[in-house]
Amino acid sequence: MPSDNRLVTDLPRDQRPNINKPRWDQATFTGRLKHFFTTACPINLFVREKTLDEAKEIVDSYRAGRPPSGLTIEQLWKAKTLYDSAFHPETGQKMFLLGRMSCQVPCNMVITGVMLSFYKTNFAIISTHWVNQSFNAIVNYTNRAGENAPTGQRLFFAYCCATGGALTAALGLNRYANAKKLHPLYARLVPFCAIALANAINIPVMRSKEFTEGISVEDAHGNKLGTSTRVAAYAIPMVVASRIFMAIPFMVLSPIMMERIVKKAWYQRRPWIAAPIQTLFAGFMLTFATPTGCALFPQKSQISVDRLEPDLRAKIQALPQAPKYVYYNKGL
């Protein structure tokens, strides 16, 4: 997309960019993919805190109808990209560094590389899955929808359930593969099975408060209309599916690739290169899998008012020019 160097203040208000929405059309997969390629880009991790705060000031000033003097449209969108990469879309609070989507590629490539390289001993299985679930818990908590943050016992319970589920699956499947003397590829796929199960446990438990207190729903203009517990039943499964999809390219393709590589003479003379190869391969695949997984479903998802709880549905339908559809942040 060519740079737009027009000054924001030179444009009539009704022709200025709407930064309450991403730059690209989120109704299309391509638009969502472009959005997450920019917000989940690992380069955003190296942006100084001062620059992030300045981006937030630009976004806040623009939303308040006071765009800074000399601000171009291109500069506005760059500020919005940095804002989206570091600040929660609903609360506006700066997210913890390890929980930002831009941290997914570098952190997961290291964790996955180690996990796929050292998967045969119980100690390696326990330690790598513990580290992985600790990181996942941070990401899930940071990217929760709305302000329904699990705290205290709920947070600890979610973490223990996810870690326990991953370890049970990994140790059990690994033992089964060894006992049945299955093809080595089956053992290499055990980490993926464990991670898929852990995501199916971790995310719903971590965000269980949303099932009881609901997720905020808005109209097309961003006006809050209430909270819905039914929305959680749509939002959380979408996040689980996205996370599992993200893991498929590097946790399934990498073991298949390594099963071929280990038979090569050059590898057998240098078995120590297993971890570097799998780490680099995971990093390459994650660069594309992370934004693709995030783009599977719109972050601001749409739901028919008819599917909401009767009391909330009645409240919305009683409004002047009542909308037929409302929107909610599914989280990441």
Q: What is the pLDDT of residues 84-136, one digit of tens each?
A: 888 887 778 888 888 887 888 888 888 888 877 776 778 888 888 888 878 87
DSSP state of 79: H
For the record, the structure tokens of 266 come out as: 């050059």
Q: What is the pLDDT of residue 54?
A: 93
Count of H-run helices and E-run strands, the chain: 12, 4
For the record, the structure tokens of 166 come out as: 């991953």
**Residue 162 contacts residue 198 (beta carbons within 8 Å):** yes
Kindly state the average pLDDT of the residues 244-253.
83
Q: What is the pLDDT of residue 55?
A: 93
Over 60: is that where the pLDDT of 315 sits?
Answer: yes
d(Cα 31, Cα 220) in Å, to the nearest integer? Answer: 18
For residues 173 and 238, the model is more confident at 238
d(Cα 174, Cα 167) in Å, to the nearest integer? Answer: 10
End-to-end CA distance of the chain: 26
pLDDT category of residue 148 using cuts at 50, 70 and 90: low
DSSP state of 107: H
pLDDT category of residue 149 using cuts at 50, 70 and 90: low
Q: What is the pLDDT of residue 134?
A: 83
Q: Which of 144-153, 203-212, 323-332 has the lowest mean pLDDT?
A: 144-153
Q: What is the pLDDT of residue 166?
A: 76
Which residues are registered as beta bridge partners of 216?
Answer: 227
Q: What is the pLDDT of residue 170?
A: 76
pLDDT category of residue 146 using cuts at 50, 70 and 90: low
Neighbours of 192 (CB within 10 A): 20
Buried b (16+ CB within 10 A) or exposed e, 204-230: bbbbbbbbeebbbbbbeeeeebbbbeb
pLDDT category of residue 58 using cuts at 50, 70 and 90: very high
Q: Residue 322: what residue type?
A: A
Neighbours of 64 (CB within 10 A): 8
For the record, the structure tokens of 306 come out as: 């008819």
pTM for this predicted structure = 0.75
Q: Residue 88: what residue type?
A: H
Of all residues in the chain, the percent with pLDDT exceeding 70 is 94
For the record, the structure tokens of 35 come out as: 């959005």
Kindly state the average pLDDT of the residues 231-236.
89
Kindly state the average pLDDT of the residues 286-305.
86
CB burial of residue 18 (10 Å; 0-12, 13-18, 19+): exposed
pLDDT category of residue 31 using cuts at 50, 70 and 90: very high
pLDDT category of residue 289 using cuts at 50, 70 and 90: confident
